[in-house]
Structure 1
Amino acid sequence: MDVLINVFVALHIIGIASLLGGFLTQMKSMSTGTARFNKAMLHGALTMLVTGVALVGLNQADDQTVNNIKVGIKLAVLVVILAVVYVKRDDETAPKPLFGAVGGLTVANIFIATLWT
């Protein structure tokens, strides 16, 4: 079971890397007002959602303790990110405040995951 959990953790990290990487590659475009939500961001957020739910299930099945408040907050933040990226994915440009909010929420999700013990 530990190997399976570690595989899903790795996939979850790949998802966050895709979401954050998609944001970071658009940072220069954000200053000129031409940034847009790309497919890497959408697929990264979806990967995080699927693997995160699987991780909670696998950890509970393995009788490990799961901090449901932490998981709930991370899920709420991710749902907001996913909703914004999904709705605005076909727009030519993303508004600066909205694009910045997605980046900020992504970083906040990383800090919640790593610093909340």
Structure 2
Amino acid sequence: MGILINVFVGLHIIGIAALLGGFFFQMKAMRTGEARFVPGMLHGAFTMLVTGMVLVGLNQAADEPVDNFKIGVKLALLVVILGLVYVKRDEEKVAAPLFGTVGALTTANIFIAVLWT
């Protein structure tokens, strides 16, 4: 079970990398007002959602402690991220504050995962 959990943790990190990498790739365009949500950001967010749900299930099945409040906060942030990216995915330009919100929420999600014990 431990190996399976580690595989999904790796996939979860790949999803984070896709989402945050897409954000960093567009930061220069954000300054000029030309930023847009690239498809990799949407795929990364969906990957985070699916692998996160699997990780919660696997940890509960392995009788590992799961902080449901922490998971709820992370899920709420991810739902907002997914909603923003999904709704605005076809637009040629996304407002800088909206684009920055996705980056900030993604970063907050990472810090919650790492620092909240």
Q: Same fold (TM over 0.5)?
A: yes
Extract unaligned runs of 5+ from structure 2. Answer: none
Equivalent residues in 2 for 1:84-95, closer than 5 Å: 84-95=84-95
**Partner residue in 1 for 2:28:** 28
CA displacement, residues 51-85 of structure 1 (integer Å, 9 cap, x when unaligned): 00000000000000000000000000000000000
**Partner residue in 2 for 1:49:** 49
Deviation at 1:90, TM superposition (A): 0.0
Fraction of identical pairs, as percent: 71
Equivalent residues in 2 for 1:1-117, closer than 5 Å: 1-117=1-117
CA distance in 2, matches of 1:66, 1:78: 18
Secondary structure of the 1:15 match is helix
Number of positions where the alignment pairs a residue of Structure 1 with one of Structure 2: 117
| TM superposition score normalised by structure 2 | 0.99
Deviation at 1:5, TM superposition (A): 0.2
Aligned partner letter, 2:29: S
Extract unaligned runs of 5+ from structure 1. Answer: none
Aligned partner letter, 1:7: V
